[in-house]
Amino acid sequence: MVWYPFEQNDNTYQELMNSGKLSLISSKAIKDNIQNMQASFKRVTFIESEMQQDFESYLYDTFFSIADLNKAFKNFNAQADNISNVEDLDISQVKELLNNQTFKNGFVLSKYNSELLITEYSNIMETTNQLILLIDEELNKN
């Protein structure tokens, strides 16, 4: 139920667009890939926004109304820090959560959105690698 939002750094892109200097790039392939990357960034932002709404609507409210948040945090931190004596969660609370249809649906939505994010991140990595190759080719021409 935790994720770290994508932090986009597109200062150079924004500067190119706002200054009108995108025309300095002569390669159509480079321009197209830059635009594709920006479109992927927008899709990531949209998906993350949907995830946040889903988490707040289906997971957090239900979790907060059933589970002991203090124990859950201690358990999460112990696991994240690779500590062996994890504080046990109340098994009746865990069962209640696992039998709660709203909570289960929240996880289904989370899985779906996570798969979409993985696809977009893969697209961004592929586009980045392609851009690097295209830029290297362009630089080697000169």
Residue range 29-52, pLDDT digits in tens: 999 999 999 999 999 999 999 999
Nearest CA to 37 out of 142, 134, 141 is that of: 134
What is the residue whose two structure tokens read 């112990």? 78
Nearest CA to 41 out of 86, 11, 80 is that of: 11
Q: How confident is the model at residue 117 (pLDDT cuts 50, 70, 90)?
A: very high
Count of C-beta atoms within a 10 Å radius of residue 106: 22
The residue-averaged pLDDT of 53-62 equals 90
The residue-averaged pLDDT of 23-27 equals 88
pLDDT of residue 16: 86
pTM for the full model? 0.76
Question: Does the pLDDT of residue 131 top 90, yes or no?
Answer: yes
The vertex-102 CA angle with 98 and 105, nearest 5°, equals 85
